[in-house]
């Protein structure tokens, strides 16, 4: 029954496409811009992330292909794992072709949970960030509600009970464990602090228990008109977002 629902709701532009094809990534940006309700979610995310930096900061974005964060940080260095239109650099988070201590920030939206070995990434973040630099992200987050949604209605793996932060590397988007951010920064917070004493978690705010689901996301048809967005955000802010949130806004500082 659930598979039938997913098939019925699948967005016609992405239905049947290989998620790891670079052309699919370019198409995803087109879909975000064509869905007014979903577009407002990304604008809110980008405003949160950009608020951590000023216009002179050197900031690198990972996984930029389907986004438009550069509208909020004009000097942003965009990157992706493969060549795709509008992206400045081809770059792997495991081994970034960036100089030591040269960045004021690394930003990402729905990317950390696609990095097969986030330990390698955190070591790289320590290398390239200046003291005081920030790692800022919006990522999936585990709550009982989000766990139900992600496990039943989302194509990506979501395994909060996984023993390791690593997972098999397949394709750039098909490789994933959506629970990784929660595992690293919540479940295994003590382990993270012990491994990376120079990376301090400054802020975690779970958010958006309903709005992304009601948007249909990128892979699903438009479910609500754009004018409905402020009302849904007003309602869900009164639903104890920390208990029900499907995503989290996370800020980590290099001390």
pTM: 0.93
What CATH number is attached to the domain comprising 249? 3.40.50.150
| Domains held by the chain: number | 1
Contact, 212 vs 224, CB < 8 A?
no
27: containing domain? 2-254
User: CB within 8 A of 214, min separation 6: which ones?
Assistant: 37, 223, 224, 228, 232
pLDDT in tens, 121-151: 999 999 999 999 999 999 999 999 999 999 9
Residues of the chain where predicted confidence (pLDDT) is lower than 70: 1-17
Residue 8: what pLDDT? 46
Residue 12: what pLDDT? 55
Q: What is the C-alpha separation between 118 and 224, in angstroms, rounded?
A: 35
């Amino acid at each position: 029954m659930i598979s039938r629902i997913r098939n019925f709701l699948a967005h016609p532009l992405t239905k049947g496409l290989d998620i790891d094809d670079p052309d699919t990534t370019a198409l995803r940006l087109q879909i975000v811009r064509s869905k007014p309700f979903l577009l407002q979610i990304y604008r809110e995310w980008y405003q949160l992330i950009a608020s951590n930096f000023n216009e002179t900061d050197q900031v690198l974005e990972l996984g930029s292909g389907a986004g438009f964060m550069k509208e909020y940080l004009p000097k942003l260095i965009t990157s992706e794992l493969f060549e795709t239109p509008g992206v400045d650099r081809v770059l792997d988070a495991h081994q970034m072709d960036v100089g030591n201590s040269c960045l004021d920030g690394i930003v990402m939206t729905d990317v950390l949970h696609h990095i097969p070995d986030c330990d390698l990434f955190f070591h790289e973040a320590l290398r390239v960030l200046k003291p005081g630099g920030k790692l800022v992200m919006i990522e999936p987050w585990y709550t009982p509600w989000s766990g139900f949604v992600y496990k039943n209605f989302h194509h990506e793996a979501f395994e909060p009970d996984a023993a390791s932060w690593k997972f098999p590397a397949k394709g750039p988007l098909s490789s994933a464990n959506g629970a990784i951010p929660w595992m690293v920064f919540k479940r295994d917070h003590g382990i993270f602090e012990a491994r990376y004493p120079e990376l301090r978690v400054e802020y975690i705010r779970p958010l958006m228990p309903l709005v992304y689901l009601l948007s249909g996301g990128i892979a699903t048809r438009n479910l609500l008109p754009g004018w409905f967005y402020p009302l849904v955000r007003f309602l869900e802010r009164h639903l104890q977002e920390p208990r029900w949130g499907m995503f989290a806004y996370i800020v980590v500082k290099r001390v």
